[in-house]
Amino acid sequence: MPSITYPENEKEKLLALGALFDDWHSCFVSGGESLTNQVADDMVFDGFHPNYFSQKTKILFVGREALQIAGENSIDLIYQVYRDGKRVGAQHLNQHLFHSRMLYIAYGILRGMPELKEIPYASEIGDYFASPEGISFAFMNISKMSNESESWQADWSAINAAHSISSQGRKFNEEEIALLEPDVVITMNLGEKISSLGELKSLNGLDCMPRVFELSSRGHRSLLIDTWHFSAPKKDSILEYYVPICNLLRQFGPDFGLKFE
């Protein structure tokens, strides 16, 4: 469970998420022989940041795996980086593609989709992140195990093992999304594993990025945009992330009761 402070109206959700992760951990204990060089206690907690449920549009980002934080709470760590540390490893927050892109895109969506040049630096957004005055969002990975190698490239053998355990019997990723109740889900090139998030209906019929779906997770309906992974170094943050995402939200958002002003 996160050690940071949540408003009273979110504590029931936080307890429900904790109970889900307790069951999830038990699943890893029973299926641990399938894990790759990991054990159940290496499981990484994720979920939502404070004041997420107060946002006019609830945004959930979905990645693949955590990096070098086995057994940790990713929500606590991200919060501390955004609010205080301003560094991810040796890299400043403003230069870290993965985290700065999440902050820029979430800020843009929640602040009326201004041009990217009008959005503050990631470090400035982080000053008030998850506070009543700032923005907040939810974040999860499809693998609850951390890549402990020295490489930033995805450890697909570890992802496949953890994802398989999480999808047999109970569909834990889908349950987490249903609990988080996002309005918009932005996934990061999840490939076929996107199907573990719930029932998908293609809205733009494209095989190329970004893809757009209606997602139903245990009855909860949300708009899903699957785009490039946010750590991709050769992708343009404006032309290949921010602009297409905003355009798709303007196009499909009204069908989901979403307004962006």
Q: What is the DSSP string of 14-77?
A: HHHHHHHHHHHHHHHHHTGGGSSS--GGG--B-EE-TTGGGSSS-EEEEES-EES-TTSBHHHH
- Domain coordinates in residue numbering, the chain: 8-255
What's the confidence (pLDDT) of residue 1?
61
What pLDDT sits at residue 152?
A: 66
Q: Chunked in runs of 10, what are the mean pLDDT values of the chain (261 residues)? A: 88 97 94 81 96 98 93 96 94 96 97 93 98 97 88 81 89 98 97 95 87 97 97 93 96 94 73
**pLDDT reported for residue 157:** 86
User: Which one-letter amino acid corresponds to residue 246?
Assistant: C
Cα separation of 145 and 64, whole Å?
A: 10
| CA pair distance 98, 2, nearest whole angstrom | 21
Contacts of 1 (CB under 8 A, 6+ apart): 14, 18, 45, 73
pLDDT tens track for 12-24: 999 999 999 999 9
Task: Give me the sign of the Cα torsion angle 93, 95, 101, 104.
Answer: positive
Sign of the Cα pseudo-torsion (231, 5, 166, 177, in order) = negative
Q: Which CATH class is domain 8-255?
A: alpha beta
